[in-house]
Amino acid sequence: MKSLSDLKVRVFADGADRATMLALYREPYIKGFTTNPTLMRKAGVTDYERFAREIVAHIPDRPICLEVLADEEEEMERQAHHIASWGPNVYVKIPVTNTRRQPMYNLIRRLTWDGIQVNATAVLALDQVRRSVEALQGGALSYISIFAGRVADTGRDPVPLMRSALEMMAAGTNSQLVWASPRELLNIFQADAIGCHIITLTSDILRKISLIGKDLNDLSLETVRMFYDDATRSEYKLAPVPEERPVGSFD
């Protein structure tokens, strides 16, 4: 099994907790950062711009993906230019559709040709990949984020989709594929095996990094100890099993 240092896929930390992001910035294997309004809300962020600007100021030399907040195309465009002005390492996340199923590919095309580094996000279908590739072709450096974990949540294997996406992107040199919303450490190795450029990992998954390559017999023993210790701490008890009397016995 490959170690983390042997993998070609780049790891981006996905989250919105300031202290955690700054701690991960000190880890050389973290090559960038992504966040979104949902993660920020869960982390208790109340001032979007202030939080984002502080993060960009403290992390000036690795990509940081920040999302627009609007649903109207014109306002998305205005916000994208504003967010991009916060730092040269900022990639602006533009969803491929708004809440009314209106595609945003024309906006993505205008932004990338304006020199803005776009992250086409919330991509789940192959047609969305194709149209994103077309919109980003020839523009600024960009990402296409396929939410592979959400694809897997529907019972579909995301690997064939990711492979097809890489084939579509092979002709262009300005876009990189992001394996977004992974569900487990295994996804890192799946992404690396197919040549995916980037994978985003939440803190919950990053905490499992130490398990990579762990001896499975040792892990089995740790699991047994966990069950035993929890049962002991909870003081669970079972009543003694009464002895069975022989068949045909009488009092």
Q: What is the pLDDT along the chain (251 residues), one digit of tens a residue?
A: 778 888 999 999 999 999 999 999 999 999 999 999 999 999 999 999 999 999 999 999 999 999 999 999 999 999 999 999 999 999 999 999 999 999 999 999 999 999 999 999 999 999 999 999 999 999 999 999 999 999 999 999 999 999 999 999 997 779 999 999 999 999 999 999 999 999 999 999 999 999 999 999 999 999 999 999 999 999 999 998 888 776 666 65
Give the residue extent of every domain in the chain.
4-211
pLDDT of residue 72: 98
Burial of 64 (0-12, 13-18, 19+ CB in 10 A): buried
* Stated pTM of the model: 0.92
**Residues 27-41 as b or e (16 or more Cβ within 10 Å = b):** eeebebbbbbeebbe
Question: Quick one: which of 124, 188, 178 has its CA closest to 153?
Answer: 124
DSSP secondary-structure letter at 244?
A: P
pLDDT of residue 249: 61
Residue partners of 39: CB distance under 8 A and separation at least 6: 14, 15, 16
Looking at 3.20.20.70, 3.30.950.10, 3.40.50.20, 2.40.110.10, the CATH number of the domain 4-211 comes to: 3.20.20.70
Residue partners of 16: CB distance under 8 A and separation at least 6: 35, 36, 39, 40, 42, 43, 45, 51
Tracing tokens 């708004």 back to the chain, one arrives at: 98
Asked if 83 contacts 65 with a C-beta cutoff of 8 angstroms, the reply is no
DSSP reduced 3-state for 213: coil
